[in-house]
Amino acid sequence: MTRNHLSELTIHEAGERLAAGEFTAVELTEAVIDRIVAVDNDVKAYLTLTPEKALAQAAAADRARRAGRADGESGPLLGIPLAIKDVLCTKGIPTTCGSRILEGFIPPYDATVIVRLKEAGAILLGKTNTDEFAMGSSTENSAYFTTHNPWDLTRVPGGSSGGSAAAVAADECLGALGTDTGGSVRQPAGLCGVVGLKPTYGRVSRYGLIAYASSLDQAGVLTKDVKDAAILLQAIAGHDPCDSTSMDVETPDYLTALDGGVGGVRVGVPREYFVDGMQPEVEAAVRAAVDLLAGLGAEVREVSLPHTEYALPVYYLIAPAEASANLARYDGVRYGLRVDGGGLIDTYKATRGEGFGPEVKRRIMLGTYALSAGYYDAYYLKAQKARTLIRGDFDRAFEQVDVILAPTSPTTAFRIGEKADDPLQMYLMDIFTLSMNLAGTCGLSLPRGFDGAGLHIGLQVMGPAVGEGQVLRVAHAYEQATDWHTQKPPLHEERV
């Protein structure tokens, strides 16, 4: 393999070859940077690139590996170039949340997940594009530009972690971090044909993750295959005293969890997730995946999640309510954009009016209304009660089955601008993912194949709380029986 093709490697492939001395971390990082230079003007996955810092980290990784050969200590992420969604704080590197209100903001500290990646020897290439404050399903809500789907540059990559998903799909990194509040790791993974894992709420620290909706936000991973997802999750999972919602439970060995196949595994198929209006090719592909797992020895059962129909309105009451509180801190006084209005209140108004985009303003207004006097009980409190019912649905379903299979999204990637004037249609792109955030459970999207237009279909494997091991096991078994994850997008060969 030439240096120009090193960017196509998975994390585990690159780790093995780095350990064997076939190339250095500096050579690998240079190859990925070359790839970014070649294709990112078209894909537009990155908001900020830090090539000098990345090469310095790569040189340090090479030194650490040489020292590690003497004492036998070299982890699987040592020297691996990764991308980071621009809602995770990175010390000394701009962190904008895709918003003008944080343009130029440079955090004085790293998020816990960034600290753990650095401790593992990973190389940070830069920050990827996102819908503003992670509010969106297409990355069209970024204040800076829209990211393009590498499989068809006229299509969206999904959102809000669209930059991370597109970077992984286009070989502009070997893996990436994203965040998932209502499907923002899994949905873009499904549309871009990569693996996206949302851990259980509390499994991964949220310290340094700039909040959208604090009871729903969760950092996750985007990778080229399931084994890589296990490797990245292993690095970032675990209790963090800096995060009061972090679970103080043992982190299992996720690589070991990949083994064993699906013989005897109980796979649930939720009747409520195959609905009118979904793309027929998506339903057919997911049902074919269920049949394949049955052929591998899985026991397939139909399950019911009866309160699924309430998930969308519940989510769009709770998440905006939390956002209206979390985003109150952006006032033009402490950090970020400041637009002088002549007085304190007018400065608040001018700063927020100019700094926030239309989707963020929409959700702040929705949330403030739901929390206002006279409406709190009718909307927000009722939504929280319905959330409890949704979580109960999952609890009962996982008494009957080990995992649940469903589509990741109801359609494949739509054209850029196609849903821009119809917020409800945009929100419906997350209809199969947001219930898990309300329930606090875990799930993964992996490639299932293509529709007639050559666009990826995502298959979602859902698990119970702290059930990442069984989700990875089923996803890995399916992946090993197919080759969808090995396909590459049709970016022009001369750009490779």
Task: Pick the more confident residue, 172 or 260.
Answer: 172
pLDDT at 496 over 50: no
Q: What confidence score (pLDDT) does residue 153 get? A: 98
Give the model's confidence band at 73: pLDDT under 50 very low, under 70 low, under 90 confident, else very high.
Answer: low
pLDDT at 280 over 90: yes
Tokens of 345: 């209140």
Q: What confidence score (pLDDT) does residue 495 get? A: 40
The pLDDT > 90 percentage for the chain reads 92
Task: Pick the more confident residue, 335 or 62.
Answer: 62
Q: Determine the average pLDDT of the residues in 142-160.
A: 98
Q: What confidence score (pLDDT) does residue 30 get? A: 98
pLDDT at 493 over 90: no
Q: What confidence score (pLDDT) does residue 155 get? A: 98
Q: Determine the average pLDDT of the residues in 426-437.
A: 95
Give the model's confidence band at 423: pLDDT under 50 very low, under 70 low, under 90 confident, else very high.
Answer: confident
Q: Determine the average pLDDT of the residues in 442-455.
A: 97
Q: Are residues 351 and 280 in the same domain?
A: no
Residues 188 and 151: their CA atoms lie apart, in Å, by 12
The domain spanning residue 424 has which CATH number? 3.90.1300.10
Residue 18: Cβ-neighbour burial (10 angstroms; 0-12, 13-18, 19+): buried
Q: Are residues 135 and 250 in the same domain?
A: yes
Angle between helices 226-236 and 112-119 (to 10 degrees): 110
List the one residue out of 220, 214, 437 whose CA is nearest residue 312: 437
pLDDT tens digit sequence for 453-466 = 999 999 999 999 99
- The pTM of this model reads 0.96
Q: Are residues 133 and 168 in the same domain?
A: yes
Q: Are residues 271 and 229 in the same domain?
A: yes
Radius of gyration of the chain (CA): 21
Q: Determine the average pLDDT of the residues in 222-231.
A: 98
Q: Are residues 403 and 350 in the same domain?
A: no
- One DSSP character per residue, 159-227 reads SSSHHHHHHHHTTSSSEEEEE-SSSTTHHHHHHHTSEEEEPPTTTB--TTB--S-TTT--EEEEESSHH
pLDDT tens digit sequence for 244-254 = 999 999 999 99
Angle between helices 226-236 and 468-480 (to 10 degrees): 160
Q: What confidence score (pLDDT) does residue 1 get? A: 58
Q: Are residues 161 and 62 in the same domain?
A: yes
Of 345, 370, 388, the residue that ends a domain is: 388
Q: Which amino acid is at 298?
A: A
Average pLDDT of the chain to the nearest whole number:
95
Q: Are residues 80 and 184 in the same domain?
A: yes
The pLDDT > 70 percentage for the chain reads 97
Q: Are residues 178 and 314 in the same domain?
A: no
Q: What confidence score (pLDDT) does residue 201 get? A: 98
Where are the strands (E) in 323-441, listed by range? 403-407
pLDDT at 369 over 60: yes
Q: Using an 8 Å Cβ cutoff, are 289 and 405 in contact?
A: yes
Report the largest interatomic distance among the alpha carbons of the chain, rounded to a whole angstrom. Answer: 70
Q: Which domain holds residue 163?
A: 3-306+391-495
pLDDT at 88 over 70: yes
Q: Determine the average pLDDT of the residues in 418-430.
A: 90
pLDDT at 144 over 50: yes
Of 333, 364, 388, the residue that ends a domain is: 388
pLDDT at 370 over 80: yes
Of 371, 388, 405, the residue that ends a domain is: 388
Q: Are residues 73 and 175 in the same domain?
A: yes
pLDDT tens digit sequence for 93-132 = 999 999 999 999 999 999 999 999 999 999 999 999 999 9
> Residue 244 — φ and ψ, nearest 5°?
-65, -15
pLDDT at 197 over 70: yes
Q: Is the peptide bond before 7 cis (omega within 30 degrees of 0)?
A: no
Q: Determine the average pLDDT of the residues in 397-404.
A: 98
Q: Are residues 421 and 438 in the same domain?
A: yes
Give the model's confidence band at 137: pLDDT under 50 very low, under 70 low, under 90 confident, else very high.
Answer: very high
pLDDT tens digit sequence for 37-69 = 999 999 999 999 999 999 999 999 999 999 876
Q: What confidence score (pLDDT) does residue 2 get? A: 64
As for how many domains the chain has, the answer is 2
Residues 175 and 166: their CA atoms lie apart, in Å, by 11
Task: Pick the more confident residue, 401 or 374.
Answer: 401
Q: Are residues 471 and 409 in the same domain?
A: yes
Catalytic residues, which ones? 85, 160, 184
SS3 of residue 413 by DSSP: coil
Give the model's confidence band at 224: pLDDT under 50 very low, under 70 low, under 90 confident, else very high.
Answer: very high
pLDDT tens digit sequence for 297-330 = 999 999 999 999 999 999 999 999 999 999 999 9
Q: Are residues 400 and 384 in the same domain?
A: no
Q: What confidence score (pLDDT) does residue 74 get? A: 74
